[in-house]
Copies of this chain bind each other. A is one copy, B any other.
């Protein structure tokens, strides 16, 4: 017998028929003798409607009231799923964040979970009752509903799994796992059986939108084995009730016996490049450039500074989110006198392609292979950054698909 958390996203509970299907997934696990806590999102579309209403009521609005309005979506799903479970003979009850309680910090609208009291849940699970928990929400220090920000239900699920000491946190979603890369670009992309927390973190933050970054961080910190699987597979399909059902397990790297050098290729087109030409190469210049950007709440990602030709002037290149591109340029144009650069150049038509793998730590030459392969296809590299388990290159956006396919083949990730 195991203790499981099962999390279902908005598309998995989009209407009553799908909620009934979710109930059958839950029943399957209960029938196999597991203790089950279910975490649900709002019905697909519900959150958008609620958010639209708060905006229509006032463009700028009290985050506490926003939370009150928007959290109702998950409340509805939790009650409906409890009803659907009871209807097929499964003992179940719904739990709202304030009932458990799931305590959060005071950051309404984007709260972080501070503490979950798992005692009563564990007690009910031991009595054979399924807990159906409204995701995305908790209760703040002000005794008011606080939401965790978009995608927060993944985080709820992982946090609850940690609080009740679950053996596994199953994230049911509209894909059947994490792939070596985006299958829409590379049809030969393979589903990974296992991926380490660190790798998944890089994948998630680089645009593989299977799991929220925060939930992966939390899973890593609390060592919650998190399993991504499809809610649209037949409930009694092959292997669905096995120890190793189809899907991708995100786990500690110690649990991954055969470590791959490269696990996946991620990409992001949400990038813009800015280059400052002929910047004085002296201490304090970086602060003059990045200080105003930070104040404007613009995230800077890849930063590359060339060695200056004559020891006095250099070029500075970095990336910002595409949506902030124009704003970033304006901020820098204002700061031209202070920074002392000669010209500003940039492009919002760039993409970041990343090679990820914990095996890189012990393998040299991974980066060199990548650069060589890209060069052989005539793909110009605008900037490079590397970490222990990742190499990222900035390229012209039209080459994204070609670069991803080239690297996917290069590292032997193509399936049959």
Contact = CB atoms under 8 A, between A and B. Distances in A.
Interface of A: 16, 19-20, 50, 53-54, 56-58, 61-62, 64-69, 71-73, 75-76, 78-84, 86-87, 93-94, 96, 98-99, 143-145
A378 to B, nearest CB: 54
Given A72-B76, A79-B68, A82-B65, A57 B143 contact: no
A111 to B, nearest CB: 16
A64 B132 CA distance: 13
Nearest to A75: B72
17 contacts: A16-B53, A16-B56, A54-B80, A57-B80, A57-B81, A62-B93, A64-B94, A65-B80, A65-B86, A65-B93, A68-B78, A68-B82, A69-B75, A69-B80, A71-B75, A98-B98, A99-B144
A53 B68 contact: no
A21 to B, nearest CB: 12
Copies in the complex: 2
A118 B57 CA distance: 28
B65 A83 contact: yes
Nearest to A77: B69
Given A16-B56, A83-B57, A50 B68 contact: no
Nearest to A69: B79
A170 to B, nearest CB: 22
B58 A86 contact: yes
Contacts of A67: 79
A78 B67 CA distance: 11
Nearest to A54: B83
B83 A96 contact: no
